[in-house]
Amino acid sequence: MNEIKPTKSIGVPTPLVDGPEKVSGKAQYSADFMPSDYLVGRIFRSPVSHAEIINVDISAAQALPGVKAVITGDETDETFGILPVARFEYPLARDKVRYKGEPVACVAAVDVETAQKAVDLIKFKYKELPAYFTSQEAMAEGAVNIHDHRECNIEREVDYDLGEVDEGFEAADLVMEETFNCAEVAQSQMEPHAAIAEYDPTRDFMTIHASTQVPYYGHLMLAKVLKMEESQIRMIKPFVGGGFGCRTECLNVELICALVARAAGGTVRIVISREETFITHRGRPETDVEMKIGLTKDGVITAVDFKVIQRGGAFSGYGIVTILYAGGMVFGLYDLPAVRYKGLRVLTNTPPCGAMRGHGVTNVRYAFESLLEKMANKLSIDPIEIRRRNLLLGPKYETLNEMFINSYGLPECLDWVEKASNWKKRKGKMGSYKGIGIACGHYPSGASKPVNWSGEPHATVHLKLDWDGSITLLTGAPEIGQGSTTMATQCAAEVLGLDISRFQSLTSDSKFTPKDNGSYSSRVTYMVGNASIDAAINLKNILIDAAAKKLEAKPENIECLGEVYRAGTQDEGLTFNEVVKAALEGTGTITVKGNFDTLPESWGTKKYRGGAISGSMAYAYAAQVVEVSIDPDTFEITVDKVWAAQDVGKALNPLSVEGQIEGSVWMGMGQAISESTQFVNGLGITNSMLDYKVPTIIESPSIKVGIIESVDPHGPFGAKEAGETSLVCFIPALTNAIYDALGVRPLDLPVTPDRLMELVENSTTNKEAAE
Amino acid sequence: MEYMPNFQLHRPATAKEAVKLRSDNSAAQYVAGGTDLIVNVRRGIEQPENLIDLSAIAELKLINEDKDGLHIGAGVTLKEVARNKKIVSKYQAVAEAAAAVAGIIHQQYGTLGGNLCLDTRCLYYNQSEWWRQSNDYCLKERGDTCHVASGGKQCFAAFSGDVAPALLVFQAEVDLIGLKGPRRIPLAKLYQNDGMDHLTLKAGELLTAVHLPKVLAGCPSRYEKTRIRGSIDFPLAGAAVRLKMKGKKVEDFAIALTGVNPYPQIVKGTDEYVGNAFDDESLDKLRDSVRKQAKPMKTTTVAPWYRRRVIGAVARRLTEELAG
């Protein structure tokens, strides 16, 4: 007889469970919901950057035949926003408009032509105010406040001093500082924003499908701005074409759609254009970083002092979190004995920024890794060696800001990339116009304190067991293409020892699935994975009890082999289906619940205001080597090869982990070499896929992925973050490689060919600039 | 992308019929592939009530070779131009230019005639209706200011077709047909230095074919464009070079540029090199001369100075390569 074994799911490369619908074109995204009687919604947007609203005359638009509703800021006086402390955005502008493209009114009409005609009939009267498009302009003396309650247009100032910073610099043998500028970038996810809202006037009930990463937060905001009970709103997240953070907060699109649907007493579909998606924005802010590091002659860090200014746009969004991450996440990668930080989040008359992949961390890490490399060169220490000399003193290390670090695979990541890239033989010896560079990075596995503290568990998973032995996994965790549903299924399947084909899933429908905070800050694998394990353990216990009863044995003597439950090796046992029948007899189908909560030790520091941000249950680590060649005539940059090692704790699904790391590299490459949102007088001039330069497949380098498994003690089967860390490393690894190739160091992002040409030409006339 | 407005679509079977449809209908435009025009229609830049789709006209899709040279129908797709063996072997720069247009999917729909008659492009023009309205439009469309050169009364929108310069170095001619019948002109005469009105086509005239002279067949040639990405992008600057050497000396030499002026431009002064060998000094002189003749303006997100520098470097590089 063959030995019976539970089926393994963890560590097995597994195609995504929602893949067949996507590749066959059957998957329904928000824009695909088109009931026969839907109305078309179109938004009237502000043509000016900053103005007091005098009047929005919608009378002619309302009178146009075929128009069913026209709404303005009068429709709701409730604000929305992700952070309770900075919730001051209206779905449609009320007192003022604060950026070009801000929604002012919305039309619902029988077809798109009528809707556009109505939009063209809206007369917008305003009194223009001075507008500020850079952080410096907005903070200048005498600047008008964009929001009355934010003096000098500072959304948040962060200031802290941990350890003995001045003494640290005094003890240093080498102190260097440098200023970096990172352009604003946008997610440019595949699917533009869309929502469809069906309002039933008889029952005063709203059903809404929207392209979101946070259906639960969306649900809360809909209830708030509509002034309806949550129970009267059903929020569904259908298939979503990527997010990368731009849908990490409720967007005005879904709110406006619901408001205009209620006003029209029917169903309204709003699918905004790519340009409007860029205007809705929530990307990574333009960031200025002044970085200063002190080193001993052996390359050991003695102190760090840095300042960050973020141009946040017209509303806060996640801004306060972003500026706190920028400070807090300087810790936890290397051993830093003293750190001083000043962060300024500035309000400007540009579209609001948000929480883009690598949130808050990316630009500071770029500055840090660039300057560290420059100093290593000065001290003639190999760039990998200098990083080794500053490693944390082990996984139980406590940083100055009290990070909860229990697994630390950075040393192994460095070893892997050093060997795989043949670093020692190639660094500095690549020949002219070719170079290699290295950098490291890290990222949390979800924020330990949720933005909306409600006392609810961080994550909940339901498993519904049916008579035929099938199990339905219900989770609010939004699958947005990252593979979260597959991950949650694998975790439950592993615990029960069953093949994942026994499982089906239902996700993100507020009427059926348990609440989940959403897909952001790399929280889902860690938190929802653990909740799924918990649910599966609870289900398994019920099945063991049922098997024990049937086999007349004690539960502790029941062995679960997945498809067979038996009392000892000599027992023939019961099949899974027999156990299921035994368990369901008399009670019917069973739904069990599993939860996950973070440990208070991981809630960050109380040493400064906002210290909870960057507190996480675990941190993923990465090292990356980038090989580059430069065209000597045009200075076009070609990324030839990338070696990306990431400590993901445990690769639950190596197939999607590899995909996440490749995607991170690729997205980092876009920010590094070609992407930036640009404005002329506050009007975005790069709001199309032609002018916003996301790299194409031709630019995509060969990427070798090294998965390092440090097995985090609290992670689901040891897993940690897998989708953001490797983005963070790419950018400095690239500029370090450019230095290796050309002997000049780019400071400003993106490193476009014209900037690089200018840098090289300046350096030949001015040797100073070349370091 | 904005929504598609309503229009009447016509699909004539002959070039003559197309010309008649164009003259019979108000606000009519030809569509020869549509990869550029449809984007402009969706953006409200073009508001045709009638679109005359040329894709059903068989006579526009022929490629013939005779004693005079190679004749390519204007409706031949860019993919076909890029892969046709005769074009690849005898007029290499033309095939390279077609292969460099946008991305492979555009090349499947885009046609030779469409690429030659491509509208000029500018950062302030190729934007949505809302965008242009918020920016008070511009000289080229409904406005009275040029945002590229403020106060200027000339439009600097850049010609951005890839294939024209490659055809120009081969002294190509084009066939046009209008209500009064057909005519043939040198391709160079199809263009003029005006971003608002860069084509010399008479009202309703249709470009039907391109002729490449036999005498230049097989003459070594190259085309290269600079762009941020290796696909999709229009040229920031592009150069076609045709160079025939006799031993170490130049026998016949032509360069044409795209992306740096409102029209595809033949570089002046290449005759000076005939009879001489290239060395570093003369190649540098050539580079500097190309830079002087190119006049890129702030019509793209990339700075004009870079486009000027790079067009010289590319022309020099291609010349050096062809000189062997």
More confident of the two residues B112 and B145 = B112
Average pLDDT, chain A: 96
Is there a contact between B301 and A685 if contact means CB atoms under 8 Å apart?
yes
Q: Read off the pLDDT band of A430 (50, 70, 90).
A: very high
Whether the predicted pLDDT of B108 surpasses 90: yes
Shortest CA gap A681–chain B (Å): 9
Q: Label residue B221 by pLDDT band (50, 70, 90).
A: very high
Does the pLDDT at position A767 exceed 60? no
pLDDT over 60 (residue B1):
no
* CB < 8 Å to B6, chain A: 113
Query: pLDDT of A469-520, one tens digit each?
Result: 999 999 999 999 999 999 999 999 999 999 999 999 999 999 999 999 999 9
Burial class (CB in 10 A: 0-12, 13-18, 19+), A451: buried
Query: Which of A199, A195, A183 shows the shortest CA–CA distance to A254?
Result: A195
Beta strands in A618-723 (DSSP E): 619-630, 637-647, 679-680, 683-684, 702-708
Nearest to A634 among B2, B147, B310 (CB): B310
Question: Integer distance in angstroms from the first to the last C-alpha of chain A?
Answer: 72
Out of A634, A696, A698, closest to residue B226 by CB: A634
Report whether pLDDT(A312) > 80. Answer: yes
Q: What is the pLDDT of residues A662-699, one digit of tens each?
A: 999 999 999 999 999 999 999 999 999 999 999 999 99
d(CA A302, CA A171) in angstroms, rounded, equals 7
- Measured torsion, CA atoms of residues A586, A587, A588, A590, in degrees rounded to the nearest 10: -150
Q: What is the pLDDT of residues A570-582, one digit of tens each?
A: 788 999 999 999 9
Distance CA(A314)–CA(A133), nearest Å, equals: 10
In chain B, what residues touch A697 (CB-CB under 8 Å)? Answer: 231
* pLDDT exceeds 50 at position A770: no
CB count in 10 Å sphere of residue A74 = 11
Q: What is the pLDDT of residues A203-229, one digit of tens each?
A: 999 999 999 999 999 999 999 999 999
Cα angle at A247 between A343 and A326, to 5 degrees? 15
Percent of chain A with pLDDT over 70: 98
* Range 118-137 of B in CB contact (< 8 A) with A: 123-124, 126-128, 130-131, 133-135
Q: Which residue, chain included where needed, has tokens 């941190």?
A: A619
Q: Do B229 and A674 touch (CB under 8 A)?
A: yes
Residue A384: closest CA among A373, A394, A368: A373
Window 657-676 of A, Cβ < 8 Å to B: 674
Q: How far apart are CA B320 and CA B284, in angstroms?
A: 10
Instruction: Taking residues A445-460, report their average pLDDT.
Output: 85
Query: For residue A261, is it left (φ>0), alpha (ψ between -120 and 50) or beta?
Result: alpha
DSSP string, A117-150: HHHHH-EEEEEE-----SHHHHHSTTPPPSSTTS
Question: CA-to-CA distance for A105 and B32, rounded, in angstroms?
Answer: 38
Q: Out of A275, A634, A695, whose CB is closest to B314?
A: A634
Does the bond joining A750 to the residue before it have cis omega, within 30 degrees of 0?
yes
Do the chains contact at A674 and B5, CB–CB below 8 Å? no
In 3-state terms, what secondary structure has residue B71? strand
A693 and B147 in contact by Cβ < 8 A? no
Q: Rounded CA gap, A728 and A665, in Å?
A: 8
Contact present, A288 and A281 (Cβ < 8 Å): no
Q: Do A754 and B302 touch (CB under 8 A)?
A: yes
Contact A66, A114 (CB under 8 A): yes
Q: What number of CA atoms fall less than 13 Å from residue A151's CA on the CB side?
A: 1
Which chain A residues touch B103 with a CB distance below 8 Å? 696
Token representation of residue A578: 């027999």
A47 touches chain B (CB under 8 A): yes
How many angstroms separate the CA atoms of A253 and A757, rounded? 42
Closest CA to A638 of A438, A431, A434, A440: A434
Res. A416: pLDDT tops 90: yes
CB < 8 Å to A752, chain B: 228, 302
Predicted complex ipTM: 0.96
Sorting pLDDT into bands at 50, 70 and 90, what band is A766?
Answer: low
Distance from CA of B124 to the nearest CA of A (A): 8
What's the CA gap between A755 and A202, in Å, rounded?
Answer: 61
Cβ separation of A690 and B130 shorter than 8 Å?
no
Residue B100 CB neighbours (<10 A)? 22
What average pLDDT does range A39-62 have in this prediction?
Answer: 98
Whether B84 has a pLDDT exceeding 70, the answer reads: yes
A515 Cβ under 8 Å from any chain B Cβ: no
Res. A568 pLDDT band, cuts 50 70 90: confident
pLDDT of residue A331: 98
Integer Cα distance of A663 and A95 in angstroms: 41
Tell me how close the Cα of A633 comes to any Cα of chain B, in angstroms.
6
**Residue A569 pLDDT level (bands cut at 50, 70, 90):** confident
Whether A678 has its CB under 8 Å from any CB of chain B: the answer is yes
CB contact under 8 A, A699 and B229: yes
Q: Quick check: B301 and A686 CB within 8 A? A: yes
Q: Cβ contact (<8 Å) for B134 and A100?
A: yes
With 70 as the cut, is the pLDDT of residue A653 above it? Answer: yes
Return the pLDDT at A456. Answer: 86
A759–B contact, CB cutoff 8 A = no
CB B237 within 8 A of CB B303: no
Per-residue pLDDT of A103-128, as tens digits, reads 999 999 999 999 999 999 999 999 99
Nearest beta carbon to residue A698 from set B123, B231, B310: B231
Per the structure block, which two tokens stand in for B303? Answer: 């700075």
Residue B269 C-alpha, separation from nearest chain A C-alpha, in angstroms: 23
pLDDT value at A451 more than 70: no
Nearest to B230 among A634, A689, A696 (CB): A696
Predicted pLDDT at A455: 79
Name the residue among B103, B228, B317 with its Cβ closest to that of A752.
Answer: B228
Q: Do A753 and B310 touch (CB under 8 A)?
A: yes
Whether A462 and A509 have beta carbons less than 8 Å apart is answered as no
Cβ-Cβ pairs closer than 8 A, A with B, add up to: 83
B206-213/B69-73 β-pairing: antiparallel
User: Which residues in chain B are closer than 8 Å to A48, comparing Cβ atoms?
Assistant: 134
Percent of chain A with pLDDT over 90: 95
- The residue type at A710: S
| CB-based contact, B2 to chain A, within 8 Å | yes
pLDDT range class, residue A769, cuts 50, 70, 90: very low
- The pLDDT tens digits for A518-564 are 999 999 999 999 999 999 999 999 999 999 999 999 999 999 999 99
Largest CA distance in chain B: 61
Give yes or no for B233 touching A (CB within 8 A): yes
Cβ contact, residue pair A116, B6, below 8 Å = no
Q: Is B226 on the interface with A (CB under 8 A)?
A: yes
What sign results for the dihedral spanned by CA atoms A88, A92, A93, A95? negative
Contact A275 B128 (CB under 8 A): yes
Please give the average per-residue pLDDT across A5-15, as a whole number. Answer: 97
Q: What is the pLDDT of residues B17-47, one digit of tens each?
A: 999 999 999 899 999 999 999 999 999 999 9
Residues 273-312 of B with CB under 8 A from A: 301-303, 305-306, 309-310
B chain contacts of residue A118, beta-carbon cutoff 8 Å: none
Q: What is the pLDDT of residue A771?
A: 47
Q: Which residues pair with B244 in a beta bridge?
A: B252
Q: How far is CA A771 from CA A733, A743, A747, A760, B166, in A?
A: 18, 8, 12, 12, 43
Closest alpha carbon to A310 in A277, A359, A275, A357: A359
pLDDT at res. B265: 96
